[in-house]
Amino acid sequence: MRIHSILLALSAVIGASQARKYPTSGLYNVDVNVGLQDVKGTVAAFADFNGDKYTDLITLSDDQTSFSVYLWDHASWSFALLPSATVSIPQSPEPFIITNIAPGDYNHDGRLDVLVMGQADPVRNPKGELKMRIYLGNTDSGWETDFIPVPSSTSQQPIAFDANGDMLTDLLGYAYNGYQEGVSGLSVWKNVYSPSSPGTIFEVLPMNFTGEPATKCTLSDPHSSAFVDLDGDCLADLFLTCYDAAKDEYRYVIYVNNKQSGFEFAKEGLFPAGAGPVTFADMDGDGAVDMIVPACDRGSCSIYIYYNQQIPLCTSKNQKDCRQVTNLCVADPNFTFNIDPDHNTNAGGLVQFPLGDVLPHGQQVILNDSGFKGRLPVSVHVGDYNLDGYPDLLVVSGTPNNIGGPSSATLLQSVLCSTNDDSCFPKAIAAKRRTFVKVTEGADPLNNAQNVKAAAFFDIDEDGTLDIMLLRGTTGQQPAGRAISFIHNNYFNDAFFLKTLASNGVCPSWCGLDSKPSRPGAKPFGVNYPGATFKFTILDTAGKKRANQVAQYPSSTYVGLSLPYSLFGLGRTNNYVEELFVGVTKNQSEHYTTYAGVIPNSQLIIIPYQTEDNLNGDNEKGNTGGPSEWTLELYIRPGDYVPWVFVVLATAIAILAGVVVGLNWMEKREDERERKKALHIINFDAL
């Protein structure tokens, strides 16, 4: 126990020494250092293109007709253009204006591919046909020469998910041909890729649900649907945002994942007037994913936190109606989001945080980027910038309707609800929910940034702290052009982190060596696999155990800038991560596994690969595979401090060795004196 405490303390000291790379605690602008000054366009997606565990950028040109890949180079601490991975889409015989890029492994070979969505004229005809194509990844030359066409959809962009639990990426949306023929139901683009027929990836089929909501769901346009676990079983469910034109209501519908039985209707509810894109995070550290919804109505903007109320974690032996740590991935069928617009029967499920006092004077939350060709909702991004275990928010604001005038970004830190805060209702205070305060100390590089169009969290150089990327409007570029700014997070936090990534299980370690020996293999790290779930328990310094849940890549639509991995804070602790649950969308009896005693400040890569004869993971055919075959790879990032650690260790060993040698010499000398004294006594007696 003492040894691991020393290791954790050493890790904290090392982290602090790295943080002091800059003179003071705070945020630092590093625009001139990261090599993106000459980019003509904007960032469209985050992904690890070459599988080196460093996140790269996929950029979109300012006219939205081409895209490129910028690889992160750890040695030079900057991004570098990969010329062979630049694709320009011809605009004849029909225009193709790119409106979204969704990275993923669509042919299941362990290499990163991209799904490119576009329209002919998204400005004058935003509800027109959404054309799609896939560019397959080739780590030698960027992308394969020819793209693979994908059947078109309506303007509501399809989301990436796993329809049948085979770990292949499918799509959910409205088929354009079906829309023309009067078919109003959702369709699934089922992944049927086979090396024997490489020209086809998807087959469009009707999507069948079990049960229906009281009011038929028509996806809003734009929508913020997602593939995320909401009932607590570590198996991703479908979350759909709907719009009822007759009632002018913005609603949500949840279908829980029942594996072989498909998706079953579970919950529905209303959002507040003027609601924007929905994001997801475990805001209060209770082991359940909550909803974050920005909304502006009649000139007043707020952020609503809708807490997912599930069976709580057992924290004492006598506690009843609670979830044991061994049951973190067992569904709670009674989960609920208490969203009462009048708050009369609120059961601690809501916090409404007004933004009037924290945003710059005269600004409101920006919910849509009007300069982009096509629909581009602006999300509130969630990340734990101070690693205290409670996610914080990054909000973009500007003048009403985002027409002219200044715009900026604001960082909001999560704090515990108190009786002095009007944003928390009494029952929310009793339930220990969270609210927010604006970060001002050391945040001048962020708070002084102007003309901000979008902001997102990003871990520069994978050092375990969430930095900030800003996309700012510029002159001299087309409306979609952005100046890309990075702000380095150098806050000195006495806390730990854990970074996790689950692959799609296509291969156990290296992919492609057997099928194409002439090409180098690929590590399946950068495949942007949607639907993975992580739950963990941690002991804080007071000895209290708490649980957290994190979702991996829940949404892939509308240039959402979702990270392909999960990075979360552990807070202050003097122990390992006691239990880590990892769930994927495999359709088998056991879809999750558990790891114990995980080292903080490390990166975990889970590869849920299973051999062909053990895909079921049960005993029906005598198989004993399943999650027991999954591979866990743990990486502790080396740094410039490693030689100094070796010097300190060698010096300590030398000092201890010197002490041992000195004590041994003194002991021998004392023994020699005792021996001579004994001999002298014997000789004297003989006389």
Name the DSSP class of 275. B
Q: Does residue 6 lie in a domain region?
A: no
Confidence at 43, pLDDT banded by 50, 70, 90 = very high
Q: Does residue 253 lie in a domain region?
A: yes
Residues in Cβ contact with 601 at an 8 Å cutoff, skipping those fewer than 6 apart:
11, 15, 464, 496, 497, 498, 636
The answer on 515 and 495 residing in a single domain is no
3-state SS, 208-248, equals: CEECCCCCCCCECCCCCCEEECCCCCCCCEEEEEEEECCCC
Cβ neighbours, 10 Å, residue 338: 17
Average of per-residue pLDDT across 203-231: 93
State the CATH number of the domain containing residue 280: 2.130.10.10
4 or 191, higher pLDDT: 191
How long a stretch of residues is the chain? 687
Q: Does residue 651 lie in a domain region?
A: no
The answer on 536 and 595 residing in a single domain is yes
- Six-digit token pair at 257? 């994942």
Confidence at 168, pLDDT banded by 50, 70, 90 = very high
Nearest residue to 559 via CA among 376, 334, 684: 376
Residues in Cβ contact with 312 at an 8 Å cutoff, skipping those fewer than 6 apart:
286, 322, 323
Average of per-residue pLDDT across 188-195: 93
pLDDT tens, residue by residue, 617-633: 443 443 446 898 898 89
% of the chain with per-residue pLDDT over 70 = 88
The answer on 525 and 488 residing in a single domain is no
Of 619, 640, 661, the domain-final residue:
640
Name the DSSP class of 360. P
pLDDT for the residue 621: 41
Range of the domain at 113: 35-501
**Does position 19 have pLDDT exceeding 50, yes or no?**
no
The answer on 433 and 506 residing in a single domain is no
pLDDT for the residue 508: 82
The answer on 591 and 486 residing in a single domain is no
The answer on 527 and 567 residing in a single domain is yes
Confidence at 179, pLDDT banded by 50, 70, 90 = low
Average of per-residue pLDDT across 432-456: 93
Q: Does residue 381 lie in a domain region?
A: yes
**Does position 20 have pLDDT exceeding 50, yes or no?**
no
- Assess contact for 126 and 99: CB atoms under 8 A: no
Q: Taking CA 333 as the corner, what is the angle to CA 327 and CA 334, rounded to the nearest 5 degrees? A: 110
Cα separation of 557 and 220, whole Å? Answer: 13
Q: Does residue 96 lie in a domain region?
A: yes
Q: Does residue 23 lie in a domain region?
A: no
The answer on 485 and 512 residing in a single domain is no
153-157, 190-194, 542-546, 590-594: segment of lowest average pLDDT: 542-546
pLDDT for the residue 615: 53
The answer on 495 and 506 residing in a single domain is no
**Does position 156 have pLDDT exceeding 50, yes or no?**
yes
Domain count, the chain: 2
pLDDT tens, residue by residue, 303-362: 999 999 999 888 777 778 888 888 899 999 999 986 654 444 455 667 889 999 899 988
The answer on 302 and 165 residing in a single domain is yes
- Six-digit token pair at 466? 């969430």
pLDDT tens, residue by residue, 440-450: 999 999 999 99
405 or 69, higher pLDDT: 69
The answer on 471 and 534 residing in a single domain is no
- Assess contact for 78 and 100: CB atoms under 8 A: no
CA torsion, points 30, 33, 35, 37, in degrees to nearest 10?
60
Q: Does residue 139 lie in a domain region?
A: yes
Cβ neighbours, 10 Å, residue 373: 20
Nearest residue to 96 via CA among 135, 58, 57: 135
**Does position 429 have pLDDT exceeding 60, yes or no?**
yes
The answer on 521 and 443 residing in a single domain is no
pLDDT for the residue 401: 63
Nearest residue to 47 via CA among 437, 596, 678, 559: 559
Edge-to-edge strand ranges of the sheet holding 148-153: 97-104, 113-119, 130-135, 148-153
pLDDT tens, residue by residue, 377-387: 999 999 999 99
- Six-digit token pair at 114? 């991209």
Average of per-residue pLDDT across 490-515: 83
The answer on 180 and 71 residing in a single domain is yes
Cα separation of 439 and 358, whole Å? Answer: 9
SS3 of residue 626 by DSSP = helix
- Assess contact for 611 and 625: CB atoms under 8 A: yes
Q: Does residue 13 lie in a domain region?
A: no
pLDDT for the residue 17: 42
Nearest residue to 554 via CA among 563, 541, 545, 546: 563
